[in-house]
Amino acid sequence: MGRRADRSIGRDFRLVWLSVLVSSTGDGMFVTALPLMAAVLTRDPRLIAGITIATRLPWLLLALVTGAIADRMDRRRLMIGADLARLVIVGVLGVLIAIDAANIWLLYVAAFLIGTGETLHVNAGQAIIPSLVEQRHLLEANARFGTAQLASAQFAGPPLGVAAFNVGTSLPFLADAVSFAGSAALVASLPDVHQVEPATTRIRHDVVDGMRFLWGNPAVRRITTILAVINFFYFAAISLLVLYNQEHLRSGPTTYSLFFVGSGVGIILSRFVLGRLVARVGQVRAIGIAFWFWAIMLIGTPITSTAWVAVGLQVLLGMGSGLWIALNTTIRQTLTPPTMLGRMNAAYRAVSWGVVPFGAAFGGFLAHRFGLLTPFWLAGFAMLPICVFSARLLRPVRIALAERDAAR
156 occurs within a structural domain: yes
- Relative orientation angle of helices 395-407 and 307-334, to the nearest 10 degrees: 40
73-127 confidence digits (pLDDT tens): 788 888 899 999 999 999 999 999 999 998 999 999 999 999 888 888 877 877 7
Average pLDDT, stretch 219-248? Answer: 94
361 occurs within a structural domain: yes
pLDDT at 89: 95
Angle at 257 between CA 251 and CA 262, to 5 degrees: 105
Positive or negative, the Cα torsion across 247, 252, 257, 261?
negative
143 occurs within a structural domain: yes
286 occurs within a structural domain: yes
- Using DSSP's 3-state secondary structure scheme, residue 354 falls into coil
CB neighbourhood size of 152 (10 A)? 22
3 occurs within a structural domain: no
pLDDT at 197: 53
pLDDT at 6: 45
pLDDT at 194: 52
pLDDT at 9: 66
CB neighbourhood size of 318 (10 A)? 26
pLDDT at 202: 67
* Domain encompassing residue 356: 9-189+202-407
Average pLDDT across the chain, whole number: 86
pLDDT at 252: 87
pLDDT at 268: 84
Lowest mean pLDDT among 92-101, 164-173, 278-287, 337-346: 337-346
Q: How confident is the model at residue 31 (pLDDT cuts 50, 70, 90)?
A: confident
> d(Cα 338, Cα 372) in Å, to the nearest integer?
45
> d(Cα 54, Cα 32) in Å, to the nearest integer?
15
pLDDT at 112: 93
Average pLDDT, stretch 197-225? Answer: 80
- Using DSSP's 3-state secondary structure scheme, residue 239 falls into coil
Q: How confident is the model at residue 408 (pLDDT cuts 50, 70, 90)?
A: low
Residue ranges of E strands in 174-218:
none
286-313 confidence digits (pLDDT tens): 999 999 999 999 999 999 999 999 999 9
Report the domain count for the chain.
1
pLDDT at 232: 96
CB neighbourhood size of 13 (10 A)? 22
CB neighbourhood size of 180 (10 A)? 29
Chain center to CA of 369: 29
Q: Do residues 102 and 93 lie in contact, with contact meaning Cβ atoms separated by under 8 Å?
A: yes
> d(Cα 75, Cα 71) in Å, to the nearest integer?
8
Average pLDDT, stretch 19-25? Answer: 84
Average pLDDT, stretch 121-137? Answer: 78
CA distances from 221 to 145, 147, 231, 278 (A): 23, 25, 15, 22
Q: Which of 12-21, 250-259, 385-394 has the highest mean pLDDT?
A: 385-394
- With a pLDDT cut of 70, the percent of the chain lying above it is 94
128 occurs within a structural domain: yes
- Going by the DSSP 8-state scheme, the letter that residue 153 receives in this structure is I
pLDDT at 147: 73
Q: Do residues 355 and 160 lie in contact, with contact meaning Cβ atoms separated by under 8 Å?
A: no
CATH of residue 143's domain is 1.20.1250.20
pLDDT at 198: 53
Q: Which amino acid is at 356?
A: V
